[in-house]
Amino acid sequence: MSDQSVSRADSALGCQDLTKSFLGVRAVNGATFEVPRGQITALIGPNGAGKTTVVNILSGLMKSDGGTMHLESTETTNWESEKIARLGLMRTFQLSRELGGLTVLENLLVAPHDQPGEKLFNIFFRPGRVTKAEKAHVERALEVLRTYGLYELRDSRASDLSGGQKKLLEISRAVMAGPKVLLLDEPMAGVNPALIERIGGYILDLKAQGVTVLMVEHNLNVVEKICDHVIVLAEGRTLATGRLSDLRENKEVVSAYLGEVIDAGAIS
Amino acid sequence: MSAFWLYVFTLIFFLFDYFILAMGLNIQYGETGILNFAYIGFVAIGAYMTGAVSMPNSVGTGQHYILGLNMPFPFNLLVGGLSAMVVSVLVAFIALRRLRTDYLAMVLISLSLVFYDICNNYVPLFNGADGLYNVPSPLAGVLHLTTNSFTVVFALLTGVISLIMWWIMSRITRSPLGRTLRAIRDDDGVAAALGKSVFRYKLTSMMIGSFFAGIGGGLIIQFNTSFNPSAWLPGETFVVFAVIIVGGVSNNIGLLVGSLLVETMLVHLVAFLPAIPGHPGLILNIAAMMIGALLMVMLWFRPQGIVPEKLRRSPAAVAAATTSTDYAGIDEGVSHE
């Protein structure tokens, strides 16, 4: 099934017939979708639908068994994650993966690509360039930390942060790298309602800055509020794509996912 | 000069030399998370190569070895460091590309055993089990040093070299490069997701650490004027691990403290104690057990070491970035949920 609603030209990220098996179990089974550029897209589906696996494949953390994918106009099928990241795709993780031994500020300072101070030669022979770049990065990192409300925590050890703060740290670290496409794997999971509101606001701000966002999300209230476009995965393949309100009419989607959520009372 | 002072300066030599070795292993293990169980092999390469280039052509010396270039100090030492670095590149391409942590450690320890057997059995390389001896003492001729005064001068020279190496290492660990290495240590998947070439940085870390290993080894062969396979049994790697774990991983002062406690006190000081009558070698065995026990006690009660890693807080960086405004006064109303 190909995605009719978004043309390849308008797509920042997409995949065609992705497959991935774990010990014979097909986690991803022909997922095909396009993520519209400059919009916020939700990737939803029941547990075990393969959402995280798809995100892992798109970000290069895992290799697919079959299928193709692209980032903007570049074919990125089975590229290393560092190469995909350098093309402008940043991601966060379902379970926060902060760099625990580093401070909050250092977590952000790691993010910029091609820092002069990462080269041995520059450290000893072009210290001026290193200092200048470092100064600029520190300024930018502090600005990002202010935006995300982590400024006061800049010198804390990242592993000492609370769960919600770690979620914010992951997003701000990804933002620090200046992404074109941002993959957020359940950015609101296990987060208190006030912070959900805040994170939703941050994601809308990123959209306003031109960042394309693909987020795995279970909270349909959030999806309804901030997402322009929805991709429904079930049993490893794309069940439907479109606006959430349209998908509510789709019987297949309702029986596979929305019905389940409605039963659980998650939709008000 | 009394024997006492000779002992003291021998201990001082080993203190500084193991400080250099500890810094080298620390950038690999402490900063980058590479469990390099082959570390002593790189020390040996540095020692052998430094010896082989400083000695005259092997014909007529009664020894068999390669090179024999009569190379003067400090160029011979640099050759030792650079040789270890070159070998580390080869090892990195074999072991570092795909493997991580425990598997990598097993492959590295195997490689060091292979290299050990080659050096021990293939005589034309570095004189086999006899090893190299009669290695010229650097500067002895120029400064008209006796055996005793050479010990003092070389121990102090090693101290100066270790300070230079410390300066170099501090520059690296405080730089953005050091930060990226620590990011890889904490979570190499995240580092890759941020666009860092994990293999390239691990390779850089291996090269820097191996250079330090080679320099440390080169100093040992010149201080002792000899080096043979009994000096670098694969277990020696764990003495260097003990130095950095006891002293404090990722803290240069900690490495110096670890070097003093483990290497100077438990390895070399005890070697000078008089043997217990009827039990030759017992003291050394007890010392080895004490190192093991100390390692366990530290890992159990104080895994961060005596002088723990310091968090790199930002005042300097922030002061550089913010001009005259009092950044600390800005209240951003952070939520501490």
Cβ–Cβ gap A152/B309 under 8 Å: no
CA angle B27/B295/B19 to nearest 5° reads 40
CA neighbor of A51 nearest in space, from A230, A198, A216, A228? A216
Contacts of B331 in chain A (CB under 8 A): 152
| Cβ atoms B115, B210 nearer than 8 A | no
CA angle B309/B312/B317 to nearest 5° reads 165
B74 upstream amide cis, omega within 30 of 0: yes
Label the pairing between strands A25-36 and A74-75: unpaired
Where does chain B show beta strands of DSSP type E? Answer: none
pLDDT digits (tens, 9 = 90+) for A156-212: 999 999 889 999 999 999 999 999 999 999 998 888 889 999 999 999 999 999 999
**Mutating which of A83, A118, A132 best tests the B interface, going by the most B Cβ atoms within 10 A?**
A118
Cβ–Cβ gap A150/B312 under 8 Å: no
pLDDT by residue for chain B (337 residues), tens only, comes to: 688 888 889 999 999 999 999 999 999 999 999 999 999 999 999 999 999 899 888 777 788 778 878 888 889 999 999 999 999 999 988 888 877 678 888 888 888 899 999 988 888 888 888 888 888 888 777 777 787 888 899 999 999 999 999 999 999 999 999 999 999 999 999 999 999 999 999 999 999 999 999 999 999 999 988 888 888 887 888 888 889 898 888 888 899 988 888 888 888 888 778 888 888 888 888 888 888 899 899 999 998 888 888 887 765 555 555 443 433 333 333 444 3
Task: Kindly report the nearest CA distance between residue B165 and chain A, in angstroms.
Answer: 13
- Asked if B176 is an interface residue toward chain A (Cβ–Cβ < 8 A), one would say yes
Cβ–Cβ gap A101/B186 under 8 Å: yes
Each domain of chain B, given as residue ranges in start order, spans 3-232
Contacts of A153 in chain B (CB under 8 A): 334
Residue among B177, B182, B334 minimizing CB distance to A102? B182
- At B33, give phi and psi (nearest 5°): 80, 20
Place of tokens 């003067």: B72
Q: What is the pLDDT of residue B327?
A: 39
Quick one: A175 exposed, middle or buried, by C-beta within 10 A (0-12, 13-18, 19+)?
buried
Hey, what are A206's tokens? 């990123």
Contacts of A60 in chain B (CB under 8 A): 192-193
Q: What is the pLDDT of residue B323?
A: 42
**Mutating which of B173, B179, B249 best tests the A interface, going by the most A Cβ atoms within 10 A?**
B179
Contacts of A195 in chain B (CB under 8 A): 335, 337
pLDDT digits (tens, 9 = 90+) for B251-271: 888 999 888 888 888 888 887
Cα–Cα distance, B306 to A133 (Å, whole number): 35
ipTM, two decimals, is: 0.89
pLDDT digits (tens, 9 = 90+) for A68-115: 999 998 999 999 999 999 999 999 998 889 999 999 999 999 999 999
pLDDT digits (tens, 9 = 90+) for A103-149: 999 999 999 999 999 999 999 999 999 999 999 999 999 999 999 99
Spell out the domains of chain A, with CATH numbers in brackets: 8-98+179-264 (3.40.50.300), 102-160 (no CATH)
